[in-house]
Structure 1
């Protein structure tokens, strides 16, 4: 069968890799990729981008460059009516449009799993995209400027208090990299010392890094404690109204920086589809990555994978699902693209099967933890494995070369620790010097 139209919703790990493979395997098919952003964010590099180890531009992959054989639509899918095989799209500008399809890959990814905590909406910072990573970097460096300038002790203590909520990989890496960067920056602030900074990790469970064995999580906690970080396990954030942090263990203190990394949940866009989902809002999938209903029947032409999909893990005990990791997402995307090609050609799809090989995490420059194929590494070897693995996984040779160049330059040049806070409000300075129309008319 030829002339198939395949709609890819979302251009994250799943969407990008699936579209790349489909465009090469089905040359006569039309592959349409819809995403609000013109790039794919390689999220494992967000901590390195925030810490200044690599350029933020090198942590993202331009869609139009990589998907040259696909049609890229910059917009947001607002509804999927699969019973009609039609998706409604709201482009960046202009009227909404409908896109029909023969097959749809639903992979909008996930969003931060937040809670209705007083003050979190107003004072919390997420860590899911490149904009948030750049903002956090600028914000932390600005707090150092504030602390070095003020003569008020309370203001200085508040500026130098940094709270991270969530002890998974995102939270641990973000905390460790930002503390490492701030400590490095103190050489330019002679009035500040490292013991004046307070870095707090708040984790609701009794351990960090649940993806690795407990001894590796315990090692991570010990290393962070050696660096003077305040680790609060079995503790929850109760409130942060006006930046006043209240923890479930009874302690309260002011902080200018509150970073939320406590897990993810499926994209709310899935609420606007007629596809079957499980109790956690994920799309139900068979091991072939095809969408299935509650009775296990295949929903023809619908596919999903990644964070927003409930995919059986055939290498684990019955009932277990694949974890929401980039490791699974990339492999699922390739298997799914191959299966779509098989179905289009009239053949049966193949089950996705991949045993999780392990995890790697950076704890700052030259520090890390890794557990791969049962082998456990710490310190410099783990850090080197972390970099090697993710350099091999970021899409495109272009990005691999740019990341390696960034790392190589960092061996000979000091890390850049300057804040570019004006990026957050680029029009403010121009607006301040531009008189309002009423004043101008009155002057005449």
Structure 2
């Protein structure tokens, strides 16, 4: 018998470490080649680490939430046959080396260590590996099912105990198809029990993307004295224009939401007040004011909040802005957004869509100095001087860094956006 060491492979260009967010195996488990052992996270992307060989888990190299360096031992396996000395880790690429195009992550071949010599003994009969389980029966108490982070999230949101779901993948791994089949059959839960107090406490470790969000929000609120300004916008004319443009759009054009109009209005308002399009380096006490308007679009995804960025909004048309927003939203929801798409914003829009509420108090995307919050559109009666008439109204709830932006400047900025949205023809007037 030999020992096989799986080291954390290179999971991305320039990435030196990754956070361990999930173990799919435990010590003593028998695994087959391609069984997913763990999931790690870096730069808001989750990567699964499969086993390159059959074997038995001897050792796991970290706890959930621990940050592990690339090339560090991750798993030790007992395998049939003799082990071999591990290959030396590849040196880190020089910063001056020519950049290489990004490619889809493929785990490097794991490396093996030679076991220590031990006295001769009666040969141990070879261990017979368990065949891949197909249609595995629901698991017992304490037994952890094999499933990817995405499947675990779906199950958690649906209130499904994955131990009750049969897995048809390798080693009984639960697939999306297995979960769909379970939903189709119905969970067959017992009837509701009589009302009784629930004194349970569930301890949930903050790891992965949720930890990154928590850290960034804590920094933003502890460093930035927020001022929030709320203004009511009459978007009746804008909604009529949007409906007309969507009805006449070409097949290849993206459907217009309110966001592209807001983005164009922000670009024009920033031209008058460029100090709103800036990052504040509070350690160096320097404000970096940008010429290019790079608008972050805060997006809720199955894995948490991310902020894909529409670069150079000042150089995009209404339709181009809409297409880019759709592209980034799809990439964020599927977890395929690149580091380039998720970084570099200079001002941010946050919107909860139809759940946008009447008023919000958005947290600034540190180290930016402003964030524009979109609340839901509602039909409300508005007095026109003679009668109450129905109008489509929407609030903008926007926050500003009061160290950099005075209340007056914040109000001027939002009032400029209000004028452009209430008279949308002005959005298309140059100068």
Query: Same fold by TM (over 0.5)?
Result: no
Query: What TM-score comes out, normalization by structure 1 length?
Result: 0.20
Query: What TM-score comes out, normalization by structure 2 length?
Result: 0.21
Report 1 or 2 for greater relative contact order, CA contacts < 8 Å, sequence distance ≥ 6.
Answer: 1
